Amino acid sequence: MPRPKRHRCVAVSPDCVLFKPAGVPCRALEAVRLGFDELEALRLADLEGLYHERAAARMRVSRQTFGRIVESARRKVCEALVQGKSLKIEGGAIQMIDQRRFLCSECGNEWRVPFGSGRPHGCPACRSGDFHRVVAGRGGPVQAAGRGWHGRPGRQVRTRGGSR
């Protein structure tokens, strides 16, 4: 009997879970299933450009397992693109990693970053550095112990009601 799969840590939940060729109804297409862990492996290796060792540590799997996940994901995506199949993102033994939310003041884009990955350099949509962290339930920026943005002294702290 094989050993049960260990949960893989996934940081990003996709907004779209189905991709298909244009102009063809989905019911007429054969589907290729891509797991959430495979999508996460593609994101870490190809989008973020991380080496397998570092990406494997982020997913909390071995480097060899990460390599197998990426290889399987690339094969499935290629199959869907070359053979004109739909690509469904679903399933897998995963565990969602806690994330921090950020909101751009320039364009209004909201994005998530996993804890432990460091502060983003700018908004992924417009590259602006004018963004803040959003705390669930508050809708506004994080106030760090009354010392200003992110605990730096000498900067004005904005609250939901304006300046203080």
Q: Please, what are the domains in the chain?
A: 8-96 (1.10.10), 99-164 (no CATH)
pLDDT of 58 reads 86
Cα–Cα separations (whole angstroms), residue 98 to 11, 113, 142, 145: 7, 9, 17, 22
At residue 111, the pLDDT reads 78
Q: Which amino acid is at 33?
A: R
| Spatial separation of the C-alpha atoms in residues 155 and 152, rounded to whole Å | 7
C-alpha–C-alpha distance, residues 81 and 152, integer Å: 49
What are the pLDDT tens digits along the chain (164 aa)? 787 777 777 777 777 889 999 999 989 999 999 998 899 899 999 988 999 999 998 888 899 999 999 999 999 999 999 999 999 988 776 676 666 788 898 898 887 776 667 778 888 888 888 888 887 654 444 444 444 444 444 444 444 444 44
Cβ(124)–Cβ(111) below 8 Å? yes
Q: Which residues contact 117 (CB under 8 A, 6 or more apart)?
A: 11, 58
State residue 108's pLDDT score.
Answer: 87
